Structure 1
Amino acid sequence: MVRFLGNNGLSGSIPSQKSETLTTIDLSYNFLSGNLPSWVNSRLQLNLVANNFTFNSSINRLLPGLECLQRSFPCFRNAPRYANFSIKCGGPAMIADGISFDVDNSTLGPATFNISSIRKWAVSNAGLFAERPIQQYVQNFAGTVSGTNTPKLYETSRLSPGSLRYYGLGLENGSYTVRLFFAETGFPELASQSWKSLGRRVFDVYIQCYNILSMLHQGTRQLRDFDISKEAGGVNKAIIRNFTTNVTGNHLEIHLFWAGKGTTGIPTTGTYGPAISAISVAPNFKPSVSGLPQDNPKKKKHTALIAGVTIPVVALALILIFSILYMKREKEEDDDDDDEVLLGINPRPNTFSYSELKAATEDFNPSNKLGEGGFGPVYKGTLSDGKVVAVKQLSVASNQGKDQFVTEIATISAVQHRNLVKLYGCCIGGNRRLLVYEYLVNKSLDHALWGQKDLHLDWPTRFNICLLTAKGLAYLHEESRPKIVHRDVKASNILLDAELCPKISDFGLAKLYDDKKTHITSRAAGTVGYLAPEYAMRGHLTEKVDVFSFGVVALEIITGRPNSDNRLEDGRVYLLNWAWTLHENNQLLSLLDPTLAEFDENEALRVIGVAFLCTQASPSLRPSMSRVIAMLVGDTEVGNVTTKPSYLTDCDFKDVTGDYEDKTDTFMDEESQKSNASDHSSNGIKSKNNTLSGLNDQPMLSPVNVSGFRESIGEGR
């Protein structure tokens, strides 16, 4: 039995049991983690590349090299060893066109991978040739390929029925030329006038420079609907395609993918899918690592003369180097200490150099500034490969900010979901700490609701933002292992992409806890207006804290106003108070943003009802996020709410960071003000609400809207 489950966004661990008849399993390119189960053995066809598994010595012996092919591609990461690689796909080692090609004649199957002995490159295959009695993953050709001085290079080709990936590992970052060698040897000449000559092999080619934990790992499509014989002008003719790409993550991926096009039964059943004869990757720069071309033997006779001239120069250079090292010793020690911060993060995140990010942002040009929060400024940048990013700088003055920086890296590196912002990598060294995120063109939700007037947020869009935000939180609470509580869910930490799809951002305050714990006692951190009462008052932390915040955000989305606005009359200053008053007067639909020309009344009432349930004083009365989703889509009835939501509306602190007239106050001591990691999203603006990151100085809470705390004293979830 065969199961192909690759590239499906699966998370969690592999089941501890499997059917005895299941012998071929492809689980590549998912987000599976943990230890491999005991049933994994060498008799299985098993492809587990691009996951997040934990390895031990026995697994390393059983599946050698797999630890190098996880999503972080850790082998030689940030310590490159190579600057080129060449592979004779499906055949023996040889020298052709002046290039030394490595052997690639291992037996691949429908779900397999193989890594070279020195871990310089690897190959992964997934797919089963449909209705083909003998599965053949190498094409052998006995004739002569024309159009080349080295026809032997094309005598074999590596085949795949679906997905064939080659990886370059431990590459020095920089610009490379990728050469792909093809020849169609599976069909007879068209001139033969045989029906077998009508066969067509059509596939796509992607080249990916890895610097993001991408969901699909497709990279940049360089060739679409590529037909070897058509491009070469006939079968049995060599053709080379050259591409220039930029490696920034010490890893290069070449992906050949069959998208279901071309013929499948000519000349024999199951003849289709990508085919490639050889690959060569060479740097466009002078490398500083191995893999360099060999010196010309004719130059060796000049060695003595060169040595005599260069020794004095080298001596002077060494004196200069030692002087520089001495002066920079203290700084380098600081850099080493900072680099050690990342050692405990698994998978280890991609790292950028400061100069790389400086160039991307045009030396952090103010014109590229997207916003600024307690964490520090955020800049729009363009990397050398053309990718647009958001670069977030950590303010240098705070130790607490450093902790939040590491928390954010570790949290986002461990989770992947379409409604969570993608972290591309980080930069750490000395006092420089930066995070590199995907750039989202429509900035943050609060900006769209009450800052940016050119965005049209109609009712379907607002409802979809509520629903997809709930799905992102449900993933953090119920699918991620360990569970994650965001602790700072608010409109400014929800970003919108070009299609106005929401992505939760800013995990600087996130907490992780396992399923065995009912709650965590923690110093409260978050934003007044979104804080659950049991957490703000007693530090009682469960996922229901995020549920409360979501309820507030949901009301903000449908009303088009912030949770507090001092410019309004007394009865409408606090959103939850006003909403409850309208509920008591049977006027709930008056809550809706007056700019909404049309809306679905049933959906609107469901959102309001869900928001009331989410903001109940007792966490035991709040639904889980999965139940919130069910209620929003109408699969589950929204329960009746009989208790007024509890809402912290005021505290005896002065506003210190808000830039709107309708400001709410903040729980934040002086140090926290400097180091607060809530920068209000990588593309955002300052929030209307300020952030709480400590309760050392207990505030004097207003008696307004804190009723119901007696109900929340219990430990219910």
Structure 2
Amino acid sequence: MIPKEWATMKLEYLSLMANQLSGQIPKFLGNITTLTYLSIESNSFSGTIPAELGKLVNLKNLLLNDNNLAGQLPIELNKLVNLIELRISSNNFSGQIPNFFHHWKQLEKLQIQGSGFEGPIPTSISLLTNLIELRISDLNGEGSEFPSLENLTSLMRLMLRSCKLSGPIPPYISAMSRLKILDLSFNKLNGSIPNELQYLNKLQNMYLTSNMLSGPVPNWITNKADSSHIDLSYNNFDEHSAPSSCNKETLNLYRSFSRGESLKSSVCLKSFNCKEARYSMHINCGGKETTIADSTYEEDDERGGAAKFVPRRADWGFSSSGEFWFSQVPGNYIAKGNPMLRLPDSNLYTRARLSATSLTYYGSCLGKGNYSVTLHFCEIVFSNNSYSSLGRRMFDIYIQDKLVHKNFDIVKEANGTSKVVKKVYQHIPVSDSVEIRFYYAGKGSTGIPLRGTYGPLISAISVKSVLAGLDLQTGLFTFKQIKAATNNFSADSKIGEGGFGSVYLGILLDGAHIAVKQLSSRSKQGNQEFVNEIGMISGLRHPNLVRLYGCCVEGNQLFLIYEYMENNNLARALFGRSHLKLNWPTRQKICIDVARGLTYLHEESIIKIVHRDIKATNILLDGDLNAKISDFGLAKLDEGEHTHISTRVAGTIGYMAPEYALWGYLTYKADVYSFGVLALEIVAGRNNTNFRPDDNYFCLLDWGFALQQQNGNLMELVDPMLGTDYNKEEVLKMIKIALLCTNPSPAVRPVMSEVLSMLEGKMLVKELTLAPSGCNSDWFYEASKGYHDMTSDSETHSLIRSPDARNGCSSTCHAKPPVIEGDQT
């Protein structure tokens, strides 16, 4: 809150920079007529600029940049005839740039970047002959020809970037003899580079990237011996003028010549021979080589620069353009964070690549198809201290020249600094190359914590081929394909055993990884459930469901082809000898992922499905430890009110709900029960059926309910492997949710959308309730213990329903457990 009393004071200098101020600019500031300097930059002021500021006739510096100001500049500002500096960048103004700037005859610095204004650039600016710095960028609206600025011979820094300018570069620029920086990039300028520009003896940086310039590249540029930076990338120059090497320290000629459209036909890449197609690319931007899961992220620690093309290998590289104006950290194109940063896969996030304007990563020699692009971000320049945390880094993201994210803000997306956020873009079409560009469009802060802190930042890039667009019509694989992909179903390719039989890793001819599930000849599930699985899940699309790509039918042999999940299943990670060490945040996320997948199956998909076999081996983990539900072979289509099934009971001992296991009564609450068991296993790191703390308990869940009923310490259930590195409140909440989900009465259990809301903190956890008096949990556990003893030394079994199952828990509550018959996998 700005005190109104200030209006009566004779202030000369007032800076309110980065004070988290919001609302409209107070009109009473216009009464402090003694002011010569006023800065309200890097706040959240909104609304229009009050006309009252026009009364500040002694003002020399007016800094309004990095706010949310809207509307147009009030005409009253033309009275500020003593202005030397005006900054109005990074706002949301509308309409054209005002045409009254010519009143500010003393103006030396004018900055209008990412302001929201439309072009054209008013000709009245040419009357500001004292200008030494003119920065205009990222204008909206229609295009225009190059403005008449021939009178601005005092200019030292000229930026007209992304202003939708067309026509040739005017030769009169050569008369600006004091010019040090010239940035005309990202326009539609055509024609050749005027030879007169070679006489700009003080020129240090020239950016002409992303235009339509043609003709030869002048010799005075290719043969230059000084240290000036020149970026001519993305133009249409004559091929014959290309130098022998495009890899020069201060000259960027990436894709600057007219031959061909594709990267591999670009002159700058002509030495890159693609011996064979590849189907993935992983880059640790700014860092050393590191392996995460099964993916090796390649080293990318080249220093970078203001105008640099860096072919890192024969099939990928980057192009960087732009310098950090008035930077207090010059030459800083790689950010270095805290090496002690405690993050999953921290090797990807302790360093990052920076750019002042535009940073483009390219990959060539890629096989034709659709790809998934994952961009990894972590803000390691800003910190959480009170001042540095006020910085705002914003930039645009383009993939294959298409804008996929405008004004991307890492801190906002990740909900804080030093926190990881991954953006995944699916179904990116690739013919032979991919380009990913990060572009600074003038938005955000530029001086927090130090001047020159802005522009794109990227931690890592992953590009992987995906089998997209497959359905039952197009997702048919031949047996020959499957046999070749799995190396004739070799033992080395086998990665697991599922309900259908063996599961193999397959690699197709195009390099794509798949998982092949083979229907076992001894499986009792048979063709009918195989067909059911295909019919139900081929059309399902959800981030937490394993994707089915297609199938193969060869005589009596049946196969399902799934997306390959690099980290296998959750059971191996929790109970096996996996190299994975699941910390608490990862376990919590896995639990939420599964809840989201089940919520989709139960309530959101067109086909409502009861999975019937939720368990740790049916939860698969991808390379980033995202959890996905697999194995829908036991799934049951929603039958409306007919919830009592007539087919055999199918599931896994230790996960089946009592009403389903003992009486065959199936509803969505059966999956809720199984989820509760799974959630308890995730907390405890122990398998429900294989863990018995002592002779008083026959399984993990039995122990949990005993602690609940006896008001014991539920934290005894926590996995010792977690040590003390977890949030006790979060763990206790998950235990309570697990016990609520496994209540013997299905009526007491919540639905999965409620479970998800409780896990995400959007709903309070319901009070734990014991079973209803007619169906008490003591009976249930006694019956279950007897059942457990009968099955502990045998194969898994199917349970035959009681004929009185529709009566639920009535007279049958005190009956003996049902007879056990058959074989159930």
TM-score normalised by L of structure 1: 0.48
TM-score normalised by L of structure 2: 0.43
Larger radius of gyration: 2
